[in-house]
Chains A and B, each alone.
Chain A
Amino acid sequence: MASEVNTDFLHDKKLDSIAADILRPVGITQGFIVWMGFLGISLLACIYAYYIQFDKGLIVTGLRDYISWGMYIANFVFFVATSLVGMLISSVLGLIGFKWVKPIARIAEIIAVAFAAIAGLVIVSDMGRPERLPYVFMYGRIQSPIIWDVTVVTTYLVISTLLYFLPLIPDLAISKGRMGHTPKWLQKTYEILAVNWKHTPKQYQILLKAVRIMLILIIPTAFAIHTVTSWLFAVTLRPGWDSSIFGPYFLTGAFVAGSAAVVIMMYFVRTNYKLDKYLTEHHFDMMGKLLVLVSIVYLYFNINEYLVPGFKMKTAEAIHLKDLFVGDWAFMFWSVQLLGLVIPIILLLFKFFRKPLSMFVISIVVLIAAWFKRLIIVVPTQDHPFLPIQHVPKAWMVYQPTIVESAITIGTLLLVIIIITVLVKFFPVIPIWEMAEEQNEIDSKSKE
């Protein structure tokens, strides 16, 4: 993002066409109502599932004393991981000066906000005593990684929201008078959220400074949020979790999941809102290259994580690794590694596969694999504690997720989709002013 903004674009006719393109899908449409109705009804079923759990206790899940963290925690890690992409794209790539991320940045921030916001809720679904959530703030022990996690997730959510909101302010002002097709309340909301934006140079100056501060601050925060999440496991003594590279291992894995999520959303926006002028094949090509890069880095950490203990085969580690490589978890383990990592890397090296549709398909596979990868990190370690599991019902020895548990997990995913849908449908999904400014710059350059 440039430090100076040339406000010439405001008088450019191109602004009108860009604003029209981007604002066209905004508002309540029939499709939106049907889609939200579907999401809402599905969510109700999931909320009922949560009511059952709240009433009966966590007995309705497949969790028991030995495997006491399961789908919920895996889902939490997945959500936190996916939300990190906001930092990667708008901050790291943006600050380096990659111009192609401009139309994608807001999509990345929407993903960051939605996933980070619901991640907190996912954790609550795992709690035995959810009504005691305030205790975390009242009696928090700052030695506990959970308190660190709560702190950084909150901070990350606020920064991500600011990074979504701040660059949106000029767009909200631009939209004024161009929103005839939308309901009155939405226009009113725009007016309030536009915080008296008049496009003055001083306002741009303040805005750019604020955005810049947040872009820098979000880097350590994002590193912290996922490193701390990895520490929830790494600070324990259990084989499979007791690893010193868990922080970077999780972080790089997060970028894979997040990039895939961005590609999926890009594809939806592009096809549904007919924005292929802004989300071009070039953007998919670049995202494809980014996905290859982060996947290779993640593969590197995977090799470290499994090869080093696999070389030594310490008793407890060996049981765990055998279970993953050739035992009960082998099918899921190898599927995830191949479909979620190795094959995408190979395919995406070819330009042929870095086209929107194939990117979309590959990203869906990568994202699903990323979810199961989290399950593989969370559950198998608990299958083999140091001391044998004896004299307990057989069902306690194997983790078998229940329908209630799955429904609650799906419910959290639905909530993410609802947040994304609302943000995408009610606000411009591509930064109008940045697009117009860029266009203006190109035009003025070509004139010279």
Chain B
Amino acid sequence: MSQNSNGTGHEHTSREEDNVNSRRAFFKNFGLFGAVAAVGGAAIYSGYEYQESKPGHDMVKVLTSDNRIVEVPRDQIKDVKVDTDQLQKQGREGLKGHRFVMVIDLSKCRNARKCISACQGAHHLRPYEYHINTLVMQESEHTAPYFMPKPCQHCDNPPCVAVCPVDATFKRQDGIVLIDNERCIGCRFCIAACPYSARLFHWEEPLMAESDKGKPYNIELNVPQRKGTITKCLFSSDRLREGKLPYCVSACPNGVYYFGDENQDAVTNGTTKETFRLSELLKVNAGYQLMAELGTKPRVYYLPPKNRLFEFKDEKDPVQETT
């Protein structure tokens, strides 16, 4: 059973919190869909009811969403019923009062590609399917090459959303551009429209199609992925809902990413967790947007690759066979 499959279960429990006693809050992080029993070979599978089990000291090991195995009393495990409609509704609505923004410091990126693997793990993607990709860039012949992580830019004037015929991709109030793979008809007009090559298409059955079968669709995680539909970077909106930084941002070992809220004028570094004024960061480092001249109004800012603390090495990637 998958270890990454818990996003949906998670959310529901946190919403339930209000009307549950405080002890239950401790179990907030247990997504039952990711729960694995390691005792006595008894496997816990999704939707299993534990109501008839004895109260008290019968302990069971479960895998939490953050990959820890913990022991909990069996009677404390609750079957989390995830309401797909509710997930859709809150997913389309977005988080009120926020305008999420990402800052990528190119002077720190040394192509560790941890952001990519964290992202691919969370979203059940193959090694060559990128929501975020690190590109080797060189402006012109005599300028220095540098690494540029490239997620979806979550444009405020999104060309991809403008062309979608069925409202399958849309922009939320918090600025995030999402994709609803239960709506997408697979016409790929958005791929043609996106100047950042940020979108990808499931040409075949997605990597974990088999194990994700039957799981409720979480629009904010875009899992389960579906054949014949589009997928793309979602700014990890499932994590943002919990107040956590995106997968890529927290996985970076080099402090490349800052993520935050434009309304609060603050961004938090994913590696050091240090928080900065967004306006100041952009001002001091002369931040810029990627291809701003196209008028897409990206929500991702870049800080120029100057004063780098390391030497540029273009290592060949396993999947890469570039020209």
B-binding residues in A (CB < 8 A): 56-59, 61, 63-66, 68-69, 123, 126-130, 132-133, 135-136, 138-141, 143-147, 150, 232-233, 235-238, 241, 382, 385-394, 396-397
Contact = CB atoms under 8 A, between A and B. Distances in A.
A141 B167 contact: yes
Contact of B133 (A69, A130, A143, A390): A390
Given A385-B195, A391-B128, 19 more contacts: A58-B228, A65-B200, A66-B197, A128-B188, A132-B186, A136-B185, A139-B167, A144-B162, A144-B164, A145-B189, A146-B187, A235-B193, A236-B193, A238-B195, A382-B192, A387-B196, A389-B197, A392-B319, A392-B320
Contacts of B210: none
* For the complex of A and B, 10 pairs with smallest distance between CB atoms: A128-B186, A128-B228, A59-B204, A146-B165, A59-B203, A144-B165, A394-B321, A129-B186, A391-B320, A132-B185
A140 B322 contact: no
A144 B136 CA distance: 34
11 contacts: A57-B203, A59-B203, A65-B199, A127-B187, A127-B228, A128-B188, A141-B165, A145-B189, A386-B196, A387-B150, A389-B197
B202 A128 contact: yes
A68 B201 contact: yes
The range of chain B's interface size is: 35 or more
Nearest to A135: B166
B282 interface: no
A392 B319 CA distance: 6
Interface string B173-193: 000000000011111110111
A114 to B, nearest CB: 24
| Residue picked from B189, B192, B197, most chain A C-beta under 10 Å | B192
B203 A63 contact: yes
B18 to A, nearest CB: 33
Given A58-B203, A392-B128, A237 B294 contact: yes
B172 interface: no
Instruction: Point out which of B185, B191, B200 has the most chain A C-beta atoms below 10 A from its C-beta.
Output: B185
A226 B99 CA distance: 40
A140 B166 contact: yes
Contact of A143 (B137, B162, B317, B322): B162
B143 interface: no
B163 A146 contact: yes
Given A69-B192, A145-B163, A129 B130 contact: no
A129 B188 contact: no
Contacts of B184: 128-129, 132
Nearest to A378: B192
DSSP majority for the A interface?
loop
B253 to A, nearest CB: 19
B93 interface: no
Contacts of A140: 165-166
Contact of A236 (B159, B166, B200, B202): B159
B6 interface: no
A408 to B, nearest CB: 15
Interface in B211-256: 227-229
A129 B185 contact: yes
B19 to A, nearest CB: 35
A68 B323 CA distance: 20
Contacts of B192: 68-69, 232-233, 236, 238, 241, 382
Given A58-B203, A136-B185, A393 B321 contact: yes
B287 to A, nearest CB: 19
A237 B193 contact: yes
Nearest to A396: B128
Contacts of A135: 166, 183, 185
A139 B183 contact: yes
A128 B227 contact: yes
B71 interface: no
Contact of A144 (B130, B163, B183): B163
Contacts of A388: 135-137, 322
B320 A390 contact: yes
Nearest to B162: A143
B205 interface: yes
B291 interface: yes
Nearest to A127: B186
Contact of A57 (B136, B202, B323): B202
A389 B200 CA distance: 13
Given A57-B227, A129-B184, A238-B192, A390 B163 contact: no
Contact of B201 (A65, A236, A391): A65
Nearest to B317: A391
B310 to A, nearest CB: 20
Contacts of B201: 58, 65, 68, 128
A133 B162 CA distance: 19
A125 to B, nearest CB: 11
A66 B129 CA distance: 12
B306 to A, nearest CB: 21
B133 A391 contact: yes
Contact of B291 (A56, A130, A386): A386
Contact of B189 (A57, A66, A138, A232): A232
Contacts of B202: 57, 128
Contacts of B135: 387-388, 390-391
A59 B136 CA distance: 27
Nearest to B116: A391
Which of A65, A135, A385, A397 lies at the interface centre, i.e. has the most chain B CB atoms within 10 A of its CB? A65
Contacts of B199: 65
A49 B185 CA distance: 20
Contacts of A396: 128
B231 to A, nearest CB: 10
Contact of B136 (A233, A236, A390): A390
Given A57-B204, A65-B201, A144-B164, A237 B186 contact: no
Contacts of B167: 139, 141
B188 A69 contact: yes
Contacts of B188: 68-69, 126, 128
Nearest to A144: B165
Nearest to B113: A391
